[in-house]
Structure 1
Amino acid sequence: MTERPPSDPKLSATVLLLRNAQPAPEVLMVKRHYEIDFAAGALVFPGGKAAAGDADPGWDAYTDGDFGPVQQDARIAAIREAYEESGLVIARHRTARGPDAPLVDAEIADLLSPYRSAVDKGEASFLELIRSKDLVLALDSLVHFGHWITPIMMPKRFDTHFYLAPAPERQIAAHDGRETTDAVWLSATEALRQEKEGEATIIFPTRMNLVKLARATSVEFAVKTFGAEPVVSVLPKPGKTEDGAPCLFIPEEAGYGQTMELLSNVKV
């Protein structure tokens, strides 16, 4: 029997939205709906597959930052997904743009909120919505944090870029009720504790990025420190431990402090 070649991974993006808290910064996580076919019921960061509209050349006039085709598309996807799944809008007024300009406040987020479902379902254009409100997406506020590619033996594969960004002040996160059933702010340590104690389901890439994030003592620390570190692509490779247990290996230079994960611990 001929072995089927691995499927091509689809460009995806996710964003770790951070806010300062004590004793450690908190990250926004949403709970996946139990009827979703991937990571059902899991705590994840807002994110998903890139859509065709994310690559529209019309975005050039409505984005801050110059990142090239793949990075621009992925960053637009990350911001769109954050809007769809949490209601948070990572954008600036077009008349007051640039890296030092503030993000829009709750008034603008509330104005865009009624369109979330239509954009999510592809019934409305995110670009046209941003253009109609005279906004620009703050792509430059996202820090490239991780890059994970689904192992080749999986039937559904994703080429996922992880970003972190300061959460917009005075905006309130709310789950969408369709793909997500809850939105919570947790420190990385608390999220990992919940997973360890069986109180939450967290998939392998999410858990590793929480482990990495746990180093941060503030949002400012996270932006400065992780923004200066190189991002090493992670394509987990199947193998076996010395005892013969099936596992996945990831490169040490990726900086997660772990290079092997038992397949029995990998949730999908």
Structure 2
Amino acid sequence: MSDAQPATPRPASTVLLLRDAPAGPEIFMVVRHRAIEFAAGALVFPGGRVEPADAEIAAGLAGAADPLGAFRVAAVRETFEECGLLLARTLGGVPLDPAQGAAVGAAHREALNAGARGFAALLQAEGLVPDVGALVPFAHWVTPADLPKRFDTRFFLAPAPMGHAAAHDGREAVDSIWIPPAQALAEADAGQHTLLFPTRMNLARLAGAADVAAAMATAAARPVVTVQPSIETDAEGRKVLRIPLEAGYGGPLFPAGTRAM
């Protein structure tokens, strides 16, 4: 038995970007590049690591005492990097219209993704602040302690800005879709997509929402319970994952499946 200490989870943010459609809410998802280190080839929500610069930006915002401030800024940044949608307002508090959003994307997104420009520089150049108030905390997942690469991930819901176009970045993500949560689950069950366990669980929690407003209201009213899955063996010898019942995913035990979390 190894005496090695568990890897320290890296802080990360993930965004469940929603829009209303005739058949119900749709969520924006991207297909991860197969050559990248984490979740290669999987259908995922946009997101990534919290960077030190995110905390610096959060410290300068109204409500800077928010313990999730850096996570919220990272969520806004990652949404722009991976989707091209900038959840931001002018210094006067006005949301970006579609033309403004497209112009900011054309001017800054490529440089930001290439590491040639920081997010703070983008905001300063355009006179913008992250619209952190658009994000509603939805879930909190921590990678199991026995895995070598671990993340401490905050999931946020956010309504997609009306009229703004979303598109994958072509770097970490090679494809993107707007899809009803129930359809994403059904297509994964049919072998058309690979879903990580947290992605599957969070899609299932959204699948019954009547519209975006209902999904946001439900999330705002539900306490966020931290989930760190543990693997067990049930009475029939099958590997299962245990998560807290209080987290609101419909049960404490689920088939282990792929342990890529």
With the length of structure 1 as denominator, give the TM-score of the two structures.
0.92
Counterpart of 2:25?
Answer: 25
Picking from 171, 174, 184, the partner of 1:191 is: 184
Q: In 2, Cα distance between the equivalents of 1:175 and 1:149? A: 26
Q: In 2, Cα distance between the equivalents of 1:193 and 1:184? A: 15
Within a 5 Å distance, the mapping from 1:68-217 to structure 2 comes to 68=65, 70-95=67-92, 97=93, 101=94, 103-114=95-106, 115-217=108-210
Report if the CA contact (8 A) 2:85-2:161 is conserved: yes
**Aligned AA (2:203):** L
Report if the CA contact (8 A) 2:31-2:41 is conserved: yes
Task: Give 5+ residue unaligned stretches, structure 1.
Answer: none
Identity %, equivalent residues: 42
Report if the CA contact (8 A) 1:59-1:127 is conserved: no
Deviation at 1:219, TM superposition (A): 0.6
Deviation at 1:128, TM superposition (A): 1.3
Deviation at 1:229, TM superposition (A): 0.8
Q: In 2, Cα distance between the equivalents of 1:16 and 1:67? A: 23
Deviations 1:139-164 (A, max 9, x none): 01100000000000000000000000
Q: In 2, Cα distance between the equivalents of 1:84 and 1:254? A: 29
**Aligned AA (2:110):** S
1:60–1:83: structure 2 CA closer, same or farther, 3 Å change rule?
same
Deviation at 1:260, TM superposition (A): 1.8
Question: Partner of 1:11: helix, strand, or coil?
Answer: strand
Number of aligned residue pairs: 260
**Aligned AA (2:99):** E
1:59–1:147: structure 2 CA closer, same or farther, 3 Å change rule?
closer
Deviation at 1:265, TM superposition (A): 4.1
Question: Partner of 2:109: helix, strand, or coil?
Answer: helix
Deviations 1:104-147 (A, max 9, x none): 12222222224223223432110111111011111011000000
Question: Partner of 2:112: helix, strand, or coil?
Answer: helix
Counterpart of 1:219?
Answer: 212
- Tell which deviates more after alignment, 66-75 or 167-176: 66-75
Q: In 1, Cα distance between the equivalents of 2:14 and 2:65? A: 18
RMSD: 1.6
Q: In 1, Cα distance between the equivalents of 2:180 and 2:64? A: 29
Counterpart of 1:3?
Answer: 3
Counterpart of 1:237?
Answer: 230
Question: Partner of 1:264: helix, strand, or coil?
Answer: coil
